[in-house]
Amino acid sequence: MKIPLLDLKAEYAGLREEILGTLDRVCQSSAFVLGAEVEAFEREFAEYCGVKHCVALSNGTAALHLGLLALGVQPGDEVITSPNTFLATAEAITYCGARPVFVDTDPATANLDPKLLERSITPCTRAIMPVHLYGRAADMDAIRAVAERHKLFVLEDAAQAHGTRYRGRRTGNLANAGAFSFYPTKNLGAYGEGGALTTDDDRIANFARAARSHGQTARYEHEFVGYNYRMHGFQGAVLRIKLRRLDAWNARRREIAGEYRKLLAGARLGMPQDDARDECVYHQFVIYVKNRNAVIAQLAARGIETAVHYPRPLHLQPAYSSLGYPPGTFPHSEQACEHVLSLPAFPGLSMEQVEYVANAVMEIVGRKT
Ligand SMILES: Cc1ncc(COP(=O)(O)O)c(C=O)c1O
């Protein structure tokens, strides 16, 4: 059996008629940048997240960048985030001229550990940026409580968490603002780059709307120097088609995860924990294994594709060596990056395929003694 980590070609096969129809409509209307489809997507995604505003952008990194700028992050400021994430999380802080300050993750969830936040707050701290890694919500009540005590802003990095629920509420609606990525491999993926900022705050939304389009508040009226961070019309149209299926796709991902958990109970491996009050959307289904390279090779020999999210925490990346964090500074994130392995868990997988992967993993890692 050949099992890919993700199969976007099969997904397209089921959407082809609708996608081609919408591509034609976008071309006929020549609304290639922003336009009616993007505006409709903004309304629909805002409603989906339960917020007043969604500002559609060119990618998730742009959403994080504008989110931080809207919160007033500027040179000299510090923004606290997790070192166990994709580089873009920290890059957005750097783009503002601010300094990323890393705080270790909770080994149970791989998300920012709220208990460790307070000791990293300084007079320069302006904001906290939790990441909902793998589609599992960070502990937002605890994070917001610390932020309120210290008068800090909170921006969610929800790039991997479309539809995730925390205590009944959707991500993108759990802080001052939320930043989403619609990179093609995400649970809600465009057919190219895409991103969005969600918020209830009129001021943040107005800033982001102007900033994505060269600081324009009216045609050729530039209030400030902004960016070209606009979403393409076609991406808005594709995202509308896919948003209608997102809940069903996420439910299927949870079913697959549940099956993996059942079949791998007793295997010699670790997994992040779910909180029964929340709903993880399993952007990735990850396990923690010893001798990861050998496990990857043995799974590949059985036709199973895997990936590592992520092999190196940000504080140990050359790009952030100047921050001066030596190895050992964030032991939980470092451990996670050393052992983590993503298994195929996309909605198109059959239960037979899930069983095949789980049986292979069990055979390779063995049972706990
Ligand atoms: C956690 C996280 N933050 C930010 C980003 C950046 O999003 P984009 O690639 O759309 O710029 C990504 C996705 O790639 C991500 O996974």
> What number of CA atoms fall less than 13 Å from residue 332's CA on the CB side?
17
What pLDDT is stored for residue 329 in this prediction?
Answer: 98
Residue 289 and residue 271 in contact, taking contact as beta carbons nearer than 8 Å: no
Which contacts of 268-272 are long-range, i.e. CB under 8 A and separated by 24 or more positions? Answer: 268/365, 268/366, 268/367, 268/368, 269/361, 269/365, 270/339, 272/108, 272/109, 272/110, 272/134, 272/136
Distance from residue 86's CA to the centre of ligand 1 (Å): 6
* pLDDT average, residue stretch 192-207: 98
Q: What is the pLDDT of residue 369?
A: 81
Strand partners, 342: 286, 307
How far is residue 37 from each of residues 22, 68, 320, 331, measured CA to CA in Å? 9, 26, 39, 45
Strands 78-81, 153-157: pairing kind: unpaired
CB of residue 159 inside a 6 A radius of ligand 1: yes
* Ligand 1 touching residue 156 (CB < 6 A): no
The CB of 131 under 6 Å from ligand 1? The reply is yes
- The pLDDT > 70 percentage for the chain reads 100
Q: What is the pLDDT of residues 292-308, one digit of tens each?
A: 999 999 999 999 999 99
Q: What is the phi/psi pair of residue 111, to 5°?
A: -105, 160
How many CA within 13 A on the CB side of residue 31?
18
* Closest C-alpha among 112, 134, 84, 106 to residue 281: 134
pLDDT tens per residue, range 96-141: 999 999 999 999 999 999 999 999 999 999 999 999 999 999 999 9
CA of 36 to the centre of ligand 1 (A): 25
